[in-house]
Chain A
Amino acid sequence: MRVVVDFDRCQSNAVCMGIAPDIFEVRDDGFLYILQENPPESSRSKVDEAVRSCPTQAISVEEG
């Protein structure tokens, strides 16, 4: 799977970072960085939770 963030929507609320800190990190500059664009399958439930919990619905998952 590939984690995709729509940075036009992202407001750096850091909810995703609270759920999956090994994949999402909001840094001191106030921007979100994706630490693993292609996380392992074992991370899927956390990534899905981040997708559902993002207040601006900025995160999506692409397969393949």
Chain B
Amino acid sequence: MVGASLAGARAAEALRREGFDGPITLIGAEPHLPYTRPPLSKQYLEGTWGRDRLELKAPAPGPGTGVDFRLGTRAVGLDVARRRVRVSGPDGAGEVGFDGLVVATGCHPRTFPGAGDLDGVFTLRTVDDCDRLKAALDGGPRVAVIGAGFIGSEVAGTCRKRGLDVTVIEALPVPLAGALGEGMGHVLAGVHRDHGTGLRLGVGVEGFVPGPRAGDRHRVAGVRLADESVVEADVVVVGVGVVPTTGWLDGSGLAVDNGLVCDAACFVRAEGGGPGPGFVVAAGDVARWHNPLFGEDMRVEHWTNAVEQAEAAARNLLRGPGGAEPFAPPTYFWSDQYDVKIQYVGRARPGDRMVLAEGSIDERRFVAVYVRGERVVAALALNRPARIVAWQQRVASRSSWNPDLD
């Protein structure tokens, strides 16, 4: 396994469960055993959950049981023909051989030019990122969040829970317009406003405003927007999306295009799109695979997919391409922002019709569905956790939209 986070750990577990008793090596760039990331923008950042709550229950078996964790170790290259991963870690450069490989290197945050030059500018992906941000929040700073995606919106909500002054800056007209559609974005903009979060929408970021010198570096003093106005801030969180971690696959002969490109069974493809080696699969945020349920290539950056895809990819790796089964989930994710729980199943595209299926938008308790032609391709439940499973089944069974469905 290259990648020792959720997908890598769950792939290792699945291999054991499926009866594989050979040696397993997990190569992880972070110095930590696998942990769960969703609380990093919520309970852990807020301070209500401690480090113990991040530990992955039922982690991959530890040393002595045939699973070797190579932590703090980065994959730097892949030689498919010789079946070797080149690594760089605490012991210097080396190679790890394999018969079968699971690529689960995930993503890393996209950032902004100049973000690394100033103190007080943060991205949030790892627990170490979170510990640094959390320490900065302890000082009671004014916070600016660049990007009203899931991470940015959740961080803003958590900062408000901590009583901090927060402004969210988003280039699009509403939060989460890309992921959830503009209609839902308006609802979520209202949620931010009702909780006292400042919103600067529809305006791009020009750069950071440097503040006083602290040692040999400057602290950040604010964010300059494209309209020349400045959002003053002591802490800036950059949440402008993530990039699949595939740089180490340069020259491997595998197909990389916004993620590692895979077939429907999660086997990686060769450059040019042809069949790959047949002993390399991918799972989690890094994998761009063909999901037959929606008939499209997709990459999903959410927790549940990492679990499900890791298990499917591991099973298929053991069976080989001939006996593999397609991975065709409806896909599910959730997001908790302020007092709002969003749950989403399926895969909508711009142009899909959005229909209120249950409940009331004004009361912020509803299910909205996304319809393409006749088919329900996605559903979003807002503060209706009891209803998401019914809609998940409809998405998974390619149901037609029918207003009389309960």
Tell whether B53 is near chain A: CB-to-CB under 8 Å.
yes
Whether B334 and A13, one on each chain, are in contact in the complex, defined by CB atoms closer than 8 angstroms, is yes
Where chain A touches its partner, the secondary structure class is loop
Q: Interface residue tally of chain A, by bracket?
A: 20 to 34
B109-133 near A? 1/0 per residue, CB < 8 Å: 0000000000000000000000000
Tell whether B383 is near chain A: CB-to-CB under 8 Å.
yes
**Min CB–CB distance A45 → chain B (angstroms):** 10
Q: Which residues of B contact A12 (CB under 8 A)?
A: 341, 385
Docked Cα-Cα span, A51 to B392, in Å, equals: 19
Tell whether A60 is near chain B: CB-to-CB under 8 Å.
yes
Docked Cα-Cα span, A13 to B336, in Å, equals: 10
Q: State which of A13, A21, A53, A60 has its C-beta within 8 Å of the C-beta of B343.
A: A13
Q: State which of B56, B303, B332 has its C-beta within 8 Å of the C-beta of A18.
A: B332
| Contact flag A28-B58 (CB < 8 Å), given A11-B336, A13-B343, A15-B304 | no
User: A30: nearest residue on chain B (CB-CB)?
Assistant: B385
User: B13: nearest residue on chain A (CB-CB)?
Assistant: A52
Whether A55 and B386, one on each chain, are in contact in the complex, defined by CB atoms closer than 8 angstroms, is no
Whether A27 and B10, one on each chain, are in contact in the complex, defined by CB atoms closer than 8 angstroms, is no
Docked Cα-Cα span, A26 to B387, in Å, equals: 8
**Min CB–CB distance B405 → chain A (angstroms):** 17
Query: B residues 1-45 with Cβ under 8 Å of A?
Result: 10, 13, 36, 38-39
Docked Cα-Cα span, A28 to B383, in Å, equals: 10
Tell whether B57 is near chain A: CB-to-CB under 8 Å.
yes
Whether B58 and A51, one on each chain, are in contact in the complex, defined by CB atoms closer than 8 angstroms, is yes
Tell whether B307 is near chain A: CB-to-CB under 8 Å.
yes
Whether A53 and B304, one on each chain, are in contact in the complex, defined by CB atoms closer than 8 angstroms, is yes
Tell whether B389 is near chain A: CB-to-CB under 8 Å.
yes
- Could you list some 12 contacts between A and B, CB below 8 A? A17-B389, A18-B392, A26-B385, A27-B386, A28-B386, A30-B386, A51-B58, A52-B307, A52-B311, A55-B303, A55-B334, A60-B57
Whether B57 and A18, one on each chain, are in contact in the complex, defined by CB atoms closer than 8 angstroms, is no
User: Could you count the A-B residue pairs with CB atoms below 8 Å apart for me: how many are there?
Assistant: 52
A25-64 near B? 1/0 per residue, CB < 8 Å: 1111010000000000000000000011101110010000
Docked Cα-Cα span, A19 to B304, in Å, equals: 12
The 7 closest A-B pairs by CB, nearest first: A12-B385, A57-B57, A18-B389, A26-B385, A26-B386, A17-B389, A28-B386
**Min CB–CB distance A1 → chain B (angstroms):** 15
**Min CB–CB distance B165 → chain A (angstroms):** 27
Which B residues are closer than 8 A to A by beta carbons? 10, 13, 36, 38-39, 53, 56-58, 303-304, 307-308, 311, 332, 334, 336, 341, 343, 383, 385-386, 388-389, 392
Q: State which of B38, B307, B308, B343 has its C-beta within 8 Å of the C-beta of A14.
A: B343
User: B303: nearest residue on chain A (CB-CB)?
Assistant: A55
Tell whether A9 is near chain B: CB-to-CB under 8 Å.
yes
Q: Which residues of B contact A13 (CB under 8 A)?
A: 334, 343, 385
Whether B341 and A11, one on each chain, are in contact in the complex, defined by CB atoms closer than 8 angstroms, is yes
Docked Cα-Cα span, A26 to B341, in Å, equals: 14
**Min CB–CB distance B7 → chain A (angstroms):** 12
Whether B57 and A14, one on each chain, are in contact in the complex, defined by CB atoms closer than 8 angstroms, is no
**Min CB–CB distance A11 → chain B (angstroms):** 7
Q: Which residues of A contact B10 (CB under 8 A)?
A: 52
Whether B57 and A55, one on each chain, are in contact in the complex, defined by CB atoms closer than 8 angstroms, is no
**Min CB–CB distance A58 → chain B (angstroms):** 9
Whether B36 and A57, one on each chain, are in contact in the complex, defined by CB atoms closer than 8 angstroms, is yes
Whether B385 and A14, one on each chain, are in contact in the complex, defined by CB atoms closer than 8 angstroms, is yes
Q: Which residues of B contact A55 (CB under 8 A)?
A: 36, 38, 303-304, 334
Q: Which residues of A contact B57 (CB under 8 A)?
A: 51, 57, 60
Docked Cα-Cα span, A15 to B381, in Å, equals: 13
| Contact flag A14-B389 (CB < 8 Å), given A52-B58, A53-B307, A57-B36 | yes
Docked Cα-Cα span, A17 to B392, in Å, equals: 11
Q: Which residues of A contact B336 (CB under 8 A)?
A: 11
